[in-house]
Chain A
Amino acid sequence: MTAPTDTSAPVAGIPATGAARQLLRRLRGRPAAVVSAGVLLLLVLLALAAPLFAALEGQDPYAYHDDLVDSARGGVPYGSFGGVSADHWLGVEPGTGRDLFARLLHGARVSLLVAVGATAVQVLIGVLVGLAAGLGSRWADGILSRITDVLVALPMLVLAIALTAVVPRDFPRPLLLILVIGLLGWAGTSRIVRAQTLTLKSLDFVAASRLAGSGRWRTARRELLPALAAPVITYAAISVPTNMVVEAALSFLGVGVTPPTPSWGQMLSTAQTWFRADPAYVLLPAGLLFVTVLAFTVLGDAVRTALDPREASRLRVGTRKETSR
C-alpha cells in the first residue's frame, strides 16, 4: 500500500525547461496519458486535414443532397444508421442531406479552435490577474477580486448578443466566440492562481528569492510560475471540453458560429430533438465531444500527478459559465 504517485521532487524549484522535460518523461510512462494524447493529436490532425479527408470520401460539408432525405417524414435520412452508405461514411444530416463525416471533421476545426482558443485567453488573463492579486497590495487584491465577482455574475448570453450585433459581420465568428467565452471565463483560473500565490508567497524559497533582491515580477516569473504550472495546466485541461459545451450552448441559443459553417456545438443544438428519429445524428457529435472530454481529463490528471500530486490538488475552484447549464 503506497501512495499512488511519485512525490519525490518538488517541482517548484526546478527551472521551467527542466520541468517540461521531466513532465514528458513521466507522462510517457503512463499508458492512459499516452493514449489520451494520441487521441487528441489524432483529432487535431483530422481537423487540420479535414478538407483532405472529406475529399478522400468524395464529399464536401456544404453540398445538399435532397434525394437522400425523406421529405414526407420530416427530412429523416433514407436508409439505416442515419443514411450510412459507401458515399456517406457516417450518414447525412436530416433535412439537408449534407454529409456528416465531412461536417464532423470541419466542425472539429471550429470546436477545437474555439475551445482551445478560449481556454488560452482564460489562462492568460487568469494567470495575470491571479498573480497580480496574489502579489499586489491588499487594495489591488480587493479590487481585482471584485472585478472577478463582476465578471462571474455577468451573463454570457447578454455579452454574446451585444457583441455579435456590434462587431462587424466580416469579423470571424469563431474568434468572437473565443473572446466572449475567454473574457468571461477566466475567473476560475485567477482564483486558483491567487490562492496558490498567497500560499507560495509565505514559503521559504520564495521569501528567500525576495530577500536575495529579486523584484516582484522577477520572483513571479522565476519562482511562482513554475509552481503554478501544475494546477493551471490541470484546470485548463478540464476547461477545454467545458468550453466546447459552452459553445454548444451558445449555438443552441442562436449566437454560435455562422451557418453553413459546422461545429459540434451547432450540430448538437440542431440534433436535440432527433435522438429517437435519427440517433446517429445526435450520437456522432455527442460521442466525439465525449471522447474529447475524456481525453482532456485523463491527460489533465496525468499531467497533474506527473507534476506533483500535492501541488496539483490545490486545484480547487472549478468554474463553468452559467450559459452551459
Chain B
Amino acid sequence: MRQSSVISRRVAAAAVSLVLATGAAACAGPEDTGAKGGASAGKGAAGGPQKGGTLTVLNSEAQTDFDPARLYTSGGGNVPSLVFRTLTTRNREAGAAGSKVVPDLATDLGRPNKDATEWTYTLKEGLKFEDGTPITSADVKYGIERSFAAELSGGAPYLRDWLVGGDTYEGPYKDKKGLASVVTPDDRTIVFKLKKPEGEFPFVATQTQFAPVPRAKDTGAKYEEHPVSSGPYKVVKNENDGERLVLERNEHWDPKTDEERKAYPDRIDVKAGLDEAVINQRLATSSRSDAAAVTTDTNLGPAELAQIGSDKALAARVGTGRFGFTNYIAFNPKVKPFDNPKVRQAISYAVNRTSVVNAAGGSALAEPATTFLPEQKSFGFTPYDHFPAGKTGDPEKAKALLKEAGFPNGLTVTLLHSTAQNRTTSPEIATAVQEALGKAGITVKLDGQEPNSFNEKRWSVKDAPGFFLSRWGADWPAGGPFLAPIFDGRQIVTNGSNYNHAQLNDPAVNKEIDEINKLTDLQAAAVRWGALDKKIGAQALDVPLFHPVYKRLVGKDIKNVVISDWTGVLDISQVSVK
C-alpha cells in the first residue's frame, strides 16, 4: 500500500523501477559478505537443489503487463523470463559473472558486420512453443513488430531508435507489410539492420520484445491474459489483471536448449497486490506455503533491517545485491542561478551524503555516490570525487563558492521532489538535502509533487525546474544505456520525456558516445564509458547522491539463491524449494 509501488501497470517511474517491478532477477544467498559491486550468494536451506514442489511468489505489484511487447525489463525480467525466451539473455550466475550476456534462443550473441550496423542470429534447433509448434525466426520478427503497435506500447525505446525505419513503423496491425529492417532469410536466421553502429546490441536482444510470438495466436491487447510460452513454464491461471498468476511446467520446453533456466519447482504461484510490510513479515515468519516463498519486487526497508539485526537465522535468509542505479540531484542550467557553475559546485560541496544515505535507509541499503556511473566494473566504473564534500558535507567551501558566484548572503532555491514513499526521489531525501544546504546558507523550499506530475515536470524540456531529485537505472549493465540518454545532446527530447536534464549538447561528448558505440569489444567500451563519466562529472551538471543496495528475504525452505550484478536481486529461474 505504500506509494513506492505506484509503478504498476504500464507505468514506470524509472526504467529501472519497472524492471524490478516486473521482476529482474538475480540470486541471493544466505550470507552477506558485503562485497562491493558484488553480490553475496548463499545456499539457503541445506542440501543441493532438487526438482519439484511449488514456489510461491509474494509481490506487491500485480503482473498487470504480461505481454512481451509491453514489458520494460532489464535482461528479460524475473517472472516473465520463466515464460519468454529471448535471442540472448543474462548469464544466470552470482556476482560480476552475472552481468554478462549469453545466448538463449540463438546459438551465439549475434554476428555483427564490420561496422556493427547489421546483426545476424541463428536459432537453436528443437525450439518449441507450449503447443508443440516449432519456434521460427518469423515468430521472433513478429514479436518485435508488434511491439511497435500503439496498443502494445510500453517497451524500451531501443528498437524504435536503432532499427532502420523504426521511427515510422506503426506495427503489424496497421502496417501489414512488416518491418523491412528485420529480415528472416530462412526459418532459423534473423538479421537486424541498424541506423548506426551499436556494439551493445546483444544486450538489447535480452529484452522481452525479442521473444517469439506466433502470429496465429496473437490476440492484441488481450494476448497478455495468456501469452504463448517459449520458456520452462506456461500460464495456467491469470486472475484479476495479474494479481494471481499460476505457472506450470511447459512440457515442450527442452532443457537441453536452455542452459540458463534451472526451473526446479513444478509450479510457480504468484500472489500479488500485497502490502510490502506484510510481504516481508510473511517471508520472515515462513509458515506453511510461505516457507517456499520469495518476492521479486519487495526490498527490505530500514525498519525491517533494524529488526532483523540481532536475529542470525533471519539474517542468513537475506540476499544482498546491487543493480546499476544512481540517485542524484539534477540541475537544469537553463534556469538561474543554476546556470552558474559555481552555484552548482557549491551545492555539490554542501551535500551531506551521510544524512542522505540514512534517509535512504542507512548504509546497508544505500552507498554514497560521487560518480554518475554505478560502481560495477561492467559499467566501466572509474572513481572520482571532483567536489569532495567528505562524509557530511563542506558548508564552508560551499559558502566561499557562493560568495564568488555573487551570493555572499546565501540564496533561496526550490527543490522539486515526489511524494512517493520510495526513498529515492521522496520527501525523506529532499529534507536531508534541504537540511544540509541550509548549513551553507542555501535556503531550500520543497516542492513535493504527486509522482505522475513530478515525472512529467522533470522530464519536460519546457517546464523542468532548475533543481530536482532524479534517478537513473541501467537497462543493461554497460555504460551506454547509463550515460547516453542523460548526456547525449541528440537525445534531448523537446516534445516528450527528456532525460538529459542538464540539456547538455556538447559535440565532443556526442562524438565520443558515437565512437564507443562502434566498439563490439565490451571491455574496451567500458573503460571509455568510465573516462567519459569522469570528464562530464567535472562540469557539476548533477550531484550524485547514492547507489541503492537491495536486500530481500526468502522463505526458509528456499535453496539456490543466485544474485547477479545485472539485476541485484534473486533469479527466480534458479530457485529450488526442495
Do chains A and B make direct contact within the complex (CB under 8 angstroms)? yes
Contacts of B475 in A (CB 8 A): none
Contacts of A254 in B (CB 8 A): 3, 419-421, 450
A255-B362 in contact given A74-B302, A95-B428 (Cβ < 8 Å):
no
In contact, B421 and A74 (Cβ under 8 angstroms): no
Residue in B307, B359, B432, B450 whose beta carbon sits within 8 Å of that of A277 in the complex: B307
Max chain B C-beta neighbours (<10 A), residue from A66, A74, A76, A255? A74
**Could you tell me the distance in whole angstroms from the C-beta of B424 to the nearest C-beta in chain A?**
14
Nearest A residue to B359 via CB reads A95
A62-B304 Cα distance, complex, nearest whole Å: 25
A313 within 8 A of B: no
A83 within 8 A of B: no
**Could you tell me the distance in whole angstroms from the C-beta of B300 to the nearest C-beta in chain A?**
8
Residue in A95, A165, A273 whose beta carbon sits within 8 Å of that of B304 in the complex: A273
B357 within 8 A of A: yes
A277-B358 in contact given A253-B3, A258-B448 (Cβ < 8 Å):
no
In contact, B306 and A255 (Cβ under 8 angstroms): no
B497 within 8 A of A: no
In contact, A71 and B450 (Cβ under 8 angstroms): no
A298-B356 Cα distance, complex, nearest whole Å: 44
A155-B448 Cα distance, complex, nearest whole Å: 22
Contact indicator per residue, chain A 35-73, by CB within 8 Å of chain B (1) or not (0) = 000000000000000000000000000111010011111
**Could you tell me the distance in whole angstroms from the C-beta of B203 to the nearest C-beta in chain A?**
34
Residue in A66, A70, A259 whose beta carbon sits within 8 Å of that of B354 in the complex: A66
A74-B446 in contact given A62-B435, A66-B358, A165-B453 (Cβ < 8 Å):
no
A75-B358 in contact given A62-B435, A94-B303, A94-B306 (Cβ < 8 Å):
yes
A63-B357 Cα distance, complex, nearest whole Å: 16
Within 8 A of B (CB), among A214-254: 253-254
The B interface, classified by DSSP as helix, strand, loop or mixed, is: helix
Within 8 A of A (CB), among B284-343: 301-307, 309
Residue in A69, A72, A277 whose beta carbon sits within 8 Å of that of B364 in the complex: A72
**Could you tell me the distance in whole angstroms from the C-beta of B407 to the nearest C-beta in chain A?**
22
Nearest A residue to B3 via CB reads A254
Contacts of A75 in B (CB 8 A): 302, 306, 358, 361-362
A260 within 8 A of B: yes
In contact, A273 and B277 (Cβ under 8 angstroms): yes
Contacts of B364 in A (CB 8 A): 71-74
A169-B362 in contact given A74-B302, A75-B302 (Cβ < 8 Å):
no
**Could you tell me the distance in whole angstroms from the C-beta of B39 to the nearest C-beta in chain A?**
18
A71-B352 Cα distance, complex, nearest whole Å: 14
Contacts of A7 in B (CB 8 A): none
A35-B453 Cα distance, complex, nearest whole Å: 48
Contacts of A324 in B (CB 8 A): none
Contacts of A95 in B (CB 8 A): 302, 358-359, 361-362, 428
Contacts of A164 in B (CB 8 A): 450
Number of residue pairs spanning A and B whose beta carbons lie under 8 angstroms apart? 109
Contacts of A96 in B (CB 8 A): 355, 358-359, 428, 431-432
Contacts of A165 in B (CB 8 A): 449-450, 453
A274-B303 in contact given A71-B357, A161-B450 (Cβ < 8 Å):
yes
Contacts of A62 in B (CB 8 A): 435
In contact, A66 and B355 (Cβ under 8 angstroms): yes
Contacts of B427 in A (CB 8 A): 259
Within 8 A of A (CB), among B74-112: none
Contacts of A259 in B (CB 8 A): 427-428, 430-431, 446, 448
A278-B306 in contact given A71-B354, A255-B419 (Cβ < 8 Å):
yes
Within 8 A of B (CB), among A146-196: 161, 164-165, 169
In contact, B362 and A72 (Cβ under 8 angstroms): yes
Nearest A residue to B6 via CB reads A254
A85 within 8 A of B: no
**Could you tell me the distance in whole angstroms from the C-beta of A255 to the nearest C-beta in chain B?**
7
Contacts of B421 in A (CB 8 A): 254
Contacts of A253 in B (CB 8 A): 3
A276 within 8 A of B: yes
B365 within 8 A of A: yes
A96-B448 Cα distance, complex, nearest whole Å: 19
A72-B453 in contact given A66-B355, A273-B304 (Cβ < 8 Å):
no
A273-B303 in contact given A95-B362, A165-B449, A258-B448 (Cβ < 8 Å):
yes
A71-B448 in contact given A64-B432, A95-B302, A259-B430 (Cβ < 8 Å):
no
Within 8 A of A (CB), among B423-465: 427-428, 430-432, 434-436, 445-450, 453
Contacts of B363 in A (CB 8 A): 71-72
**Could you tell me the distance in whole angstroms from the C-beta of A172 to the nearest C-beta in chain B?**
13
B494 within 8 A of A: no
A277-B308 Cα distance, complex, nearest whole Å: 9
Contacts of B505 in A (CB 8 A): none
In contact, A76 and B306 (Cβ under 8 angstroms): yes
Residue in B301, B352, B355, B436 whose beta carbon sits within 8 Å of that of A74 in the complex: B301
**Could you tell me the distance in whole angstroms from the C-beta of B443 to the nearest C-beta in chain A?**
12
In contact, A74 and B3 (Cβ under 8 angstroms): no
In contact, B303 and A278 (Cβ under 8 angstroms): yes
Nearest B residue to A281 via CB reads B303
Contacts of B357 in A (CB 8 A): 71
In contact, B303 and A64 (Cβ under 8 angstroms): no
Contacts of B434 in A (CB 8 A): 260
Contacts of A76 in B (CB 8 A): 302-303, 306, 309
A73-B430 Cα distance, complex, nearest whole Å: 21
In contact, A63 and B362 (Cβ under 8 angstroms): no
A320-B450 Cα distance, complex, nearest whole Å: 25
Nearest A residue to B310 via CB reads A73
B392 within 8 A of A: yes
In contact, B306 and A260 (Cβ under 8 angstroms): no
Contacts of A260 in B (CB 8 A): 431, 434-435, 446
Contacts of A69 in B (CB 8 A): 358, 362
In contact, B435 and A74 (Cβ under 8 angstroms): no
Within 8 A of A (CB), among B230-274: none
In contact, B447 and A169 (Cβ under 8 angstroms): yes
Contacts of A70 in B (CB 8 A): 306, 362
A73-B419 in contact given A96-B432, A165-B450 (Cβ < 8 Å):
no
In contact, B354 and A74 (Cβ under 8 angstroms): no
Contacts of A94 in B (CB 8 A): 302-303, 306
Max chain B C-beta neighbours (<10 A), residue from A63, A66, A97? A66
Within 8 A of A (CB), among B521-551: none
A274-B303 Cα distance, complex, nearest whole Å: 5
In contact, A64 and B355 (Cβ under 8 angstroms): yes
Contacts of B453 in A (CB 8 A): 165
In contact, B435 and A276 (Cβ under 8 angstroms): no
Contacts of B428 in A (CB 8 A): 95-96, 259
A149-B112 Cα distance, complex, nearest whole Å: 67
In contact, A66 and B304 (Cβ under 8 angstroms): no
Contacts of B359 in A (CB 8 A): 95-96
Max chain B C-beta neighbours (<10 A), residue from A63, A75, A165, A277? A75
Contacts of A169 in B (CB 8 A): 445, 447
Nearest A residue to B419 via CB reads A254
A74-B365 in contact given A94-B303, A259-B431, A274-B303 (Cβ < 8 Å):
yes
Q: Please, could you name 14 A-B residue pairs with CB atoms under 8 Å apart, sorted by A?
A: A64-B355, A64-B432, A66-B392, A69-B362, A71-B357, A74-B302, A74-B304, A76-B309, A95-B428, A96-B432, A165-B450, A253-B3, A258-B448, A272-B277
| Chain A residues with a Cβ under 8 A of chain B | 62-64, 66, 69-76, 94-97, 161, 164-165, 169, 253-255, 258-260, 272-274, 276-278
The 5 closest A-B pairs by CB, nearest first: A74-B302, A277-B306, A76-B306, A74-B305, A273-B303
* Besides A72-B364, A74-B309, A274-B303, 14 new A-B residue pairs in contact (Cβ under 8 A), listed by A number: A71-B354, A73-B305, A74-B361, A75-B302, A75-B362, A76-B309, A96-B428, A96-B431, A254-B450, A259-B446, A259-B448, A260-B434, A272-B277, A274-B306
